[in-house]
Amino acid sequence: MQNIQHKANPSPSPLERAGVRLKEKIGYGFGDMSSSMFWKIFSYYLPIFYSNIYGLTLEDTALLLLVTRIWDAISDPMMGIIADRTHTRWGKYRPYLLWVALPFAICGILLFTTPELGRTGKLVWAYVTYIMMMTVYTGINVPYGAMLGVMTDDSDTKTVFSSYRMFFAYGGSFLALFTWEPLCNFFQGDSTSQAASWQYSMVVIAFISMIGFLLCFSMTRERIKSISTVSIGKDFRSLLSNTPWWILIGAALCSNLFNTVRGATAAYFFKDYIGDDMFLNFGDLSILFYAGLFLGVGEVANMVGVVLAVPLSRKLGKKSTYISTMVALAFLSILFFYLPVSPVGLWMMLIMQVVISTCTGIVSPLVWSMYADVSDYAELRDGTASTGLIFSSSSMAQKFGGAFGGAVVMWILAFFGYNTEMGAVQTPEALIGLNLLMSWIPAAVAVVAVVVVYFYPLTKERVAEIDEKLKIIRKDQQ
C-alpha cells in the first residue's frame, strides 16, 4: 500500500517519470490519424459504395463484410505473434509503421477501384481487394497498438497516450469524412464517372495516411524492452485464460458495433430519410445538411470526449467511466428516434450528434488504455511478454465490430425493403428501418456493453497494484 501511495505523489509526474515529450505524443497520434481516415471511410461509405455505385446487392455486400473477417480472425493474432518476436534497432513494433505504410495506401486505392467486369468478376475483385486491405491494415495497426505497451510503464501515461491517439484519430476522421463528398464532387466532371471520382478521392486520402504513418515512425520510440521467451502455445493459453481480456473483447465489440451501425447508416439516412436538399438556417445564411457534415461534426465532438477521458478516468477509474458513458449513450440514442425532420428537428439532430459523439470520444481511449492494463496483468500473472498478441485482439474486435455492424445495416435495410436503384422512392417501412438503425438498435448495443463491463475486474486500485509490482520485477531483470 505504501508503493501505491507513493505513486499518487504529484512530484514527479507520471509523464516526467516516463520521459515523454510532447513531440512523441503528437507523433503517436499521427499513427491513428492515418488508420482512422481509412477506417471511417471504410465503415461509413464503403457499404453505400458497394450497393449504390459498385453494383453489388445488399445481400452480397453483407456477406462480403462478414466472410472477409474469417481471414482477419486468423491474421490478427498471427500478426501479434510475429510482432512480439520481432527484434530490430527500431524496436519490436515501431518498424512496421515504416514497412507497411506504402502497401497500406496502395490497397486502399484498389479497394475503391471499380473494374469493368461482370457480376462474378466484380465479386471476386471486391473479395480480393478487401482481404488485401484488411491484411495490410492488420500488418500496421496491430504493431501500432502494441507500441502503447512498450512506450511507458505507467498506467496514467498510457491513458494520456491513448487520448492523444484518439484525439488525432478523430481529427483525421473529421478531415476524411468532411471532405469525402466534396472531393468526390470535385473529381466528378463531365467525362469522369461517379466510380472514378470515388477512386481519385481515395488517392488523396491514401497519400495523407501514408505520410502520417511515416511521421509516427520518426517521432516515437520504444522504452520497455520485453522479450517473449515462452512458446507460442503458452502465450495463447495465457490469453485464453485471461478473464479481463475476454470481457474487454466484448466491450470493444460493442463500442465498435455502436459506432459502425450509426456511421454506416448515416449516408443512407441523409439520402432517403432527411433528403438531399435540407438546410440548416443561420438567419439569412443556409448550410446544406449532408452526411459528411453530420459525421464530421461528430468527429470534432469525439475529440472533446477524448480530452475529457483523462480527468474522468483518473477520478472515477476506467471501468466506472466506461459504464456511465454507455448508459448515457443508450438514453441519448433512444431520444434520437423521436426527432422530426423539420428545421428545429434538424438542429436537434446535430446537437444530439454532438453529445453522442462526445460520449463515444470518452469511451475510445479508455478501451485502448484498458488493453494495456490487461497486457500488464498477463505479464504479472503468467510472465509472458505477449503485448502484440493482446493488442491484436483489439484490432480483431474492431474489425469484427465494424464488419458485423456493416452487415447488420445491410440486412436490416433489406428486411425493411430498402431499394438501391438510382432515384428510388423508399417505402414508409424502409424509412422506419433507417430511423431504428440510428436510434434503438445502437441503444440496445450500449446496454449490452454496460452488462459486459460490469464484470471487468481490473479496477483503478487493482491496476495501481499491478503497476507497482511490475516496476519492481522489471527493475530486478535489468
With helix as H, strand as E and coil as C, how does 82-95 read? HHHCCCECCECCCH
Top-ranked range on mean pLDDT: pick from 37-41, 174-178, 330-334 = 330-334
Considering only residues 46 and 446, tell me which one the structure prediction assigns the higher pLDDT. Answer: 446
Query: Which set of grid coordinates corresponds to residue 429?
Result: 417501412
* pLDDT > 90? residue 454: yes
Of the pLDDT bands very low, low, confident and very high (cuts 50, 70, 90), residue 387 is low
* Chain center to CA of 49: 20
pLDDT at 12 (0 to 100): 42
pTM value is: 0.74
Sign of torsion, CA 16 17 19 21? negative
Considering only residues 237 and 264, tell me which one the structure prediction assigns the higher pLDDT. Answer: 264
Of the pLDDT bands very low, low, confident and very high (cuts 50, 70, 90), residue 33 is very high
Q: What ranges in 188-290 are assigned the alpha helix state H? A: 194-219, 232-240, 243-268
Number of C-beta neighbours around residue 281 at 10 A: 12
* pLDDT > 60? residue 411: yes
* pLDDT > 70? residue 5: no
* pLDDT > 80? residue 177: yes
Considering only residues 284 and 354, tell me which one the structure prediction assigns the higher pLDDT. Answer: 354
Burial (CB < 10 A; 0-12, 13-18, 19+), residue 16, is: exposed
Cα 341 to Cα 131, 212, 311: the distances in Å are 39, 39, 37
The answer to whether the beta carbons of residues 150 and 94 sit under 8 Å apart is no
pLDDT at 16 (0 to 100): 43
Number of C-beta neighbours around residue 159 at 10 A: 24
- The fold for domain 25-477 equals Growth Hormone; Chain: A; (1.20.1250)
Q: How many helical (H) and strand (E) elements, i.e. helices and strands, does the chain have? A: 18, 2
Round to whole Å and give the CA distance between 19 and 29. 17
Cα 327 to Cα 195, 203, 393, 445: the distances in Å are 40, 39, 25, 11
Of the pLDDT bands very low, low, confident and very high (cuts 50, 70, 90), residue 143 is very high
Round to whole Å and give the CA distance between 96 and 467. 28
- Amino acid code (one letter) for 100: V
Beta bridge partners, 285, equal 282
CB proximity list for 325: less than 8 A, separation 6 or greater: 359, 362, 363
Round to whole Å and give the CA distance between 301 and 296. 9
pLDDT at 434 (0 to 100): 95
CB proximity list for 192: less than 8 A, separation 6 or greater: 200
pLDDT at 153 (0 to 100): 77
Query: Which set of grid coordinates corresponds to residue 115?
Result: 473494374
Buried b (16+ CB within 10 A) or exposed e, 326-338: bebbbebbeebee
Round to whole Å and give the CA distance between 364 and 167. 10
The count of residues in the chain is 478
Taking residues 228-244, report their average pLDDT: 70
The answer to whether the beta carbons of residues 176 and 45 sit under 8 Å apart is no
Comparing 117-131, 342-356, 383-397, the range with the smallest average pLDDT is: 383-397
For cell 469525439, name the residue: 302
The answer to whether the beta carbons of residues 332 and 356 sit under 8 Å apart is yes
Sign of torsion, CA 353 356 359 364? negative
Round to whole Å and give the CA distance between 372 and 459. 14
- Amino acid code (one letter) for 439: S
Query: What one-character DSSP code corresponds to residue 395?
Result: H
- Amino acid code (one letter) for 94: R
